[in-house]
Amino acid sequence: MSITTKRKKRNAQAQASPTAGCSSGKRRYRTKLDAKIALASARKLKRGPARPKDERRYYFCPDCYGYHLTSKPYWNRTATAKKHVRQTPATVPPSATIKGVAAFVECIDGSWIYTIPEFAIRGASASQQEAKTTVRAMMKIVAPGAKTSFRYYSDDQDIELFYAKQVAGSQAEVTTDKDSYMEPLLAQLRSRLFRNGFRFRKYDSRYEGTPDIVLPKYRIMVFVDACLWHDRAECRRRSLPPETLRIWHDAHAESRGEALECRQRLAAEGWIILTYWECWFCDNRKREKRLGAFLADVRRSAALGSTG
């Protein structure tokens, strides 16, 4: 039997079965169009981050005269050669990337503590002027071209009121209660729910922990936590004094733990708990998108609550 006859026989077997007729055992697509459609469908069904085994392209198989999908990238001799070339990263001076730095000078128990969060610099001085001089001297070494702005804080101030005024912005009278300084944000969340047919209660003190929004019909509770309670690096509110904030966290760690335990008890009673950080909604460029994500979370939880 000639080679041409063997290939024709193998091709006829492959047309009868999608996986037959090829030694690779992969699914065979008869035409290039079929392979393109299958690749597009596979990409559409894959959600989340890409994985190494996800299909990336299709290729022609000379063994079965069909097309297969593979997770290997295109072979490129130039790209392969570049992998073996050792590239030294260019050293960029800090002054070229950082234009301005905020330095905190805090008076705690009579001692002046200076902190530069961008460079993880922290120290203590005898006076405010000495702390400023030390920070300026360090900045000339670390980032000569960067401008330094100083922010002062003392332990005789109420950090909760300081944070509330920062969040409230142009509001005239602000208290440390959440319904005072965070009301504009919570009003946006409630408005989004109301316009989409959800009915709720706000600040319902009948429930433990006083949730910000309660949807009794679907047994959903929404909590929006203030950025004062966390020190995440991705938070955009970095104007809080770090040393004072650390001391405040240590003093209120027990109350924070009680609040989390309270939510666990509510979840054990059958409530669906949705928790968000306040800064998640603060970015004006992403606010509309994240309000939509919040509504999607409520809809998904409402479907679970109604079926349960």
pTM (two decimals) = 0.62
Residues 6 or more apart whose Cβ sits within 8 Å of residue 153: 104, 105, 106, 107, 162, 241, 244
Domains and CATH numbers, the chain: 3-80 (no CATH), 98-154 (3.30.160), 159-307 (3.40.960.10)
Dist. CA 299–CA 220, nearest whole Å: 10
The pLDDT tens digits for 102-161 are 889 999 888 899 998 878 888 898 899 999 999 999 888 888 888 888 988 888 888 888
The pLDDT tens digits for 159-192 are 888 888 878 776 667 888 887 888 889 999 999 9
